[in-house]
């Protein structure tokens, strides 16, 4: 079946790309071949003066290369060839004697933007779904079809590197300011405007473009010494951000630099060489696996397909307008555009909550992600009161009150008297078993956990936690709503700590043991950031709040016994009213809410003399293997439904290094037998808490793994 349909109107060929049987347009081998022969036909067709390339899909121009195709690559040579062929196809667009206009509505990403860059003129629509970008580095790759060459030539080295090295996408208005597109129009007239532009180009020739960026941009981008400064700054920033763990951004920088300094042919050669090397590398493989896992989760409702019916959520209630409640309300309004009612015990607290929730909208407005009228409309969806007024119309209520069983039970009882009998009650508890909260409910089938992470608007994960009594309809409704809030959702079992806090607990506790042994705080944190976590465990304790961590720690201790026996460090800190960032006094000191250095007065408080004279590898092993072992234990307990959910939960919930693929992937990579060996060594040195999980012993014995090899 054909992917392109062509109509010729007044000498302008309108080529509509509509990949059969797929929701979005992707570039694969067949599409590239068809495009090439189409271009050849149009070249020889005397009735055609110019071409418009437009998409037949509602929300995408071209979403990028077909990633499935990458996974089939067997070796580096094949990967290089794939990139080289992409470059060739795209160059045919650029060298076409007949001008080609890209008419862009919806996502124009990766290979899609590389196609657009090779066209002679670009028009984008102002539709919110229209975004342009080269996100390849997020898959551990670089733009490999000329993107590293054409983008800097079009918008300058600094702006291009800003986009390529981060993989971020830009809206049409910003793309226009950057010079990435030539015009922005409403979707309804895209086709007409594009046809008119094609006609103009055919008659008057290609437009002269001036690079944007003003005088300073010109000095930086147009002179060799200026560009050297740009490369140097970019390299420094990349190394700082990736800790040297992700090779793609530096490779992209290399391809841009070679292209600008040695000419486009050399640049293209470097581009496909580097692409080939990265595509078969371990980091890219891991990032692609994560991409597929999250894509699969987007289609996974948490219950077997066809067994449940989601209900529509038209109105949301949120009880508790504190830190989490406000975040949940603001995020729901922003992403789901749902009428949201907040309830707290008094109006002052409601006022604070509404202000915080509106603050999230304001931030989007300031960053020009939403317009003023959108902001006004969304703010209008938020309301609040000190009683349950309005809750009788809610379809879903999320509870985020204090972390106390009695309070939560009482709120549920009060709500059941107010809300419709078919409304769903979700609790955001982080430590209390959901079935305890639900034990006296009149409708336990409509009670479950929705565990958001802080800060809600930024953390990408949501754990949905059904009890044994929760109905499938309730589960699927919560999963779908969480997804609409922009979250990656995993459904986990109602066991203490659920998944994320379960594997986090022994890790944070091990940090407590290290602290109590006098290991230098910066060293502990540095070891783990070098391992690839975004923050170290001690800094994380400060963020979570030492009171919260202590409470969670004792719940876990009670549930799992000696393995989770809390280290002495936290009670000592709390004894000195050190709560972490929230009161400006933790392991670190805080000046005007900014983290300053380690607070050295902590050491005498813990009764230790700080030392750096430790085996760093051992520090790393203690922290990492406590988490790996717990992951194996929890997995065997049936806390997660699959290794996929486990690894995604760890990566998105606590920042487990993505390039390592998650704790279970890491166990597979290291090999269960070696993991067991290390755990035995740790057990001998540090005690029973490192006793290897039976599941690991079994895997070591039988040669099992979590994922198929």
Query: Is residue 457 near ligand NAI by the rule CB under 6 A?
Result: no
Site for ligand NAI (CB under 6 A): which residue of 270, 300, 344, 395? 344
Query: Is residue 325 near ligand NAI by the rule CB under 6 A?
Result: yes
**DSSP state, residue 611:** B
- The residue range among 70-78, 213-221, 231-239, 452-460 that interacts with ligand NAI, by the rule CB under 6 A, is 452-460
Contacts of ligand NAI in 123-182 (CB under 6 A): none
Compute how many residues bind ligand NAI; rule: CB under 6 A.
23
The closest of 154, 161, 168 to 121, measured between CA atoms, is 154
Comparison of 284 and 430: residue with beta carbon closer to ligand NAI: 430
Comparison of 83 and 501: residue with beta carbon closer to ligand NAI: 501
The structure tokens 């994380």 sit at 540
Of 80, 271, 399, 463, catalytic = 463
- To the query of whether residue 463 is one of the catalytic residues in this protein, the response is yes
Q: Give the tokens for residue 232.
A: 């140097």
- Determine how many CB atoms are found less than 10 A away from the CB of residue 113: 32
- The residue range among 118-126, 217-225, 428-436, 614-622 that interacts with ligand NAI, by the rule CB under 6 A, is 428-436
Contacts of ligand NAI in 349-368 (CB under 6 A): 349
The closest of 523, 521, 522, 502 to 512, measured between CA atoms, is 521
Tell how strand 461-466 and strand 447-452 pair up: antiparallel
Comparison of 99 and 325: residue with beta carbon closer to ligand NAI: 325
- Give the integer Cα–Cα distance in Å for 60 and 57: 6
Q: Helices 672-686 & 616-636, crossing angle to 10 degrees?
A: 110
Query: Is residue 80 near ligand NAI by the rule CB under 6 A?
Result: no
Nearest residue by C-beta to ligand NAI? 322
Site for ligand NAI (CB under 6 A): which residue of 110, 320, 661, 662? 320
- Determine how many CB atoms are found less than 10 A away from the CB of residue 46: 6
* Contact predicate 631/664, CB 8 Å: yes
Q: Helices 224-242 & 214-222, crossing angle to 10 degrees?
A: 90
Largest CA distance in the chain: 87
Comparison of 230 and 579: residue with beta carbon closer to ligand NAI: 579
Query: Is residue 501 near ligand NAI by the rule CB under 6 A?
Result: no
Site for ligand NAI (CB under 6 A): which residue of 323, 375, 590, 707? 323
Which residues sit opposite 589 in a β-bridge? 585
Query: Is residue 343 near ligand NAI by the rule CB under 6 A?
Result: yes
The site map against ligand NAI for 370-409 (x = CB under 6 A) is: ------------------------------xxxx---x--
The CA-based angle 185-370-482, given to 5 degrees, is 120
Comparison of 246 and 391: residue with beta carbon closer to ligand NAI: 391
C-beta of 465: minimal distance to ligand NAI in Å? 12
C-beta of 478: minimal distance to ligand NAI in Å? 15
Site for ligand NAI (CB under 6 A): which residue of 454, 516, 642, 681? 454
Instruction: List C-alpha distances in Å: 20 to 2, 26, 58, 660.
Output: 7, 10, 14, 36
Site for ligand NAI (CB under 6 A): which residue of 322, 359, 518, 584? 322
User: Would you call 535 exposed, middle or buried from its count of C-beta atoms within 10 A (0-12, 13-18, 19+)?
Assistant: middle
Query: Is residue 324 near ligand NAI by the rule CB under 6 A?
Result: yes
Site for ligand NAI (CB under 6 A): which residue of 89, 138, 430, 505? 430
- Give the integer Cα–Cα distance in Å for 444 and 351: 32
- Give the integer Cα–Cα distance in Å for 135 and 288: 12
- Give the integer Cα–Cα distance in Å for 433 and 156: 55
Which residues have a catalytic role annotated? 463
Write out the residues near ligand NAI by the rule CB under 6 A. 319-325, 343-345, 349, 400-403, 407, 411, 428-430, 452-454
């Amino acid at each position: 079946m054909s992917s392109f349909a062509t109509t010729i109107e007044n000498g302008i060929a309108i080529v509509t790309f509509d990949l059969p049987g797929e929701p979005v347009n992707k570039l694969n081998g067949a599409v590239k071949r068809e495009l090439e022969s189409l271009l050849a036909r149009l070249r020889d067709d005397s009735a055609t003066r110019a071409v418009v390339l437009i998409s037949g899909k509602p929300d995408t121009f071209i979403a990028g290369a077909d990633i499935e195709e990458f996974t089939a690559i067997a070796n580096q040579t094949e990967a290089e060839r794939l990139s080289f062929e992409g470059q060739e196809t795209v160059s045919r667009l650029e060298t076409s004697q007949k001008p080609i206009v890209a008419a862009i509505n919806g996502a124009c990403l990766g290979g899609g933007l590389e196609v657009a860059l090779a066209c002679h003129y670009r028009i984008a629509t102002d539709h919110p779904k229209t975004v342009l970008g080269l996100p390849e580095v997020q898959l551990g790759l670089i733009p490999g079809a000329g993107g590293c060459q054409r983008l800097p030539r079009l918008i300058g080295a600094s702006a291009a590197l800003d986009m390529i090295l981060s993989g971020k996408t830009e809206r049409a208005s910003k793309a226009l300011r950057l010079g990435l597109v030539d015009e922005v129009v409403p979707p309804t007239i895209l086709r007409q405007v594009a046809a008119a532009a094609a006609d103009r180009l055919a008659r008057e020739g290609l437009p002269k473009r001036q690079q944007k960026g003003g005088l300073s941009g010109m000095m930086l981008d147009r002179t060799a010494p200026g560009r050297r400064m740009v490369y140097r700054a970019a390299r420094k920033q990349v190394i700082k951000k990736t800790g040297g763990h992700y090779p793609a951004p530096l490779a992209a920088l290399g391809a841009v630099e070679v292209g600008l300094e040695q000419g486009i042919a050399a640049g293209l050669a470097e581009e496909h060489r580097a692409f080939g090397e990265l595509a078969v590398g371990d980091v890219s493989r891991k990032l692609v696996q994560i991409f597929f896992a999250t894509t699969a989760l987007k289609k996974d409702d948490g219950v077997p397909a066809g067994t449940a019916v989601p209900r529509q959520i038209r109105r949301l209630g949120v009880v508790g307008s504190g830190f989490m409640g406000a975040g949940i309300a603001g995020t729901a309004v922003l992403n789901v555009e749902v009428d949201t009612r907040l309830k707290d015990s008094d109006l002052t607290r409601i006022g604070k909550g509404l202000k915080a929730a509106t603050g999230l909208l304001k931030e989007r407005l300031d960053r020009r992600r939403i317009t003023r009228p959108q902001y006004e409309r969304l703010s209008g969806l938020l309301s609040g009161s000190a009683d349950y007024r309005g809750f009788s119309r809610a379809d879903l209520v999320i509870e985020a009150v204090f972390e106390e069983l009695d309070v939560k039970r009482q709120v549920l009882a009060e709500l059941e008297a107010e809300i419709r009998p078919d409304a769903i009650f979700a609790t955001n508890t982080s430590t209390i078993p959901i079935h305890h909260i639900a034990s006296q409910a009149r409708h336990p089938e409509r009670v479950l956990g929705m565990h958001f992470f802080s800060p809600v608007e930024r953390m990408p994960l949501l754990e949905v936690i059904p009890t044994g009594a929760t109905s499938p309809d309730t589960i699927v409704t919560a999963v779908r709503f969480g997804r609409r809030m922009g979250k990656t959702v995993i459904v986990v079992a109602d066991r203490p700590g659920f998944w994320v806090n379960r594997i986090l607990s022994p890790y944070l506790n091990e940090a407590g043991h290290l602290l109590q042994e006098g290991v230098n705080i910066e060293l502990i944190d540095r070891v783990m950031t070098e391992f690839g976590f975004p923050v170290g465990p001690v800094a994380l304790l400060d963020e979570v709040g030492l009171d919260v961590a202590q409470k969670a720690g004792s719940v876990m201790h009670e549930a799992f016994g000696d393995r989770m026996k809390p280290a002495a460090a936290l009670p000592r800190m709390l004894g000195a009213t050190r709560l972490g960032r929230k009161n400006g006094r933790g392991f670190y000191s805080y000046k005007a809410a900014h983290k300053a250095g380690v607070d050295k007065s902590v050491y005498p408080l813990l009764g230790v003399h700080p030392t750096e004279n430790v085996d760093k590898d051992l520090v790393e092993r203690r922290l990492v293997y406590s988490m790996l072992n717990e992951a194996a234990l929890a997995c065997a307990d049936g806390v997660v439904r699959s290794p996929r959910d486990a690894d995604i939960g760890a990566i998105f919930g606590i920042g487990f290094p993505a390039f390592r693929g998650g704790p279970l992937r890491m166990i597979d990579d290291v090999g269960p037998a070696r993991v067991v060996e290390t755990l035995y060594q740790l057990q001998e040195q540090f005690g029973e808490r490192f006793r290897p999980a039976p599941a690991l012993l079994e895997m070591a014995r039988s040669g099992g793994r979590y994922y198929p090899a």
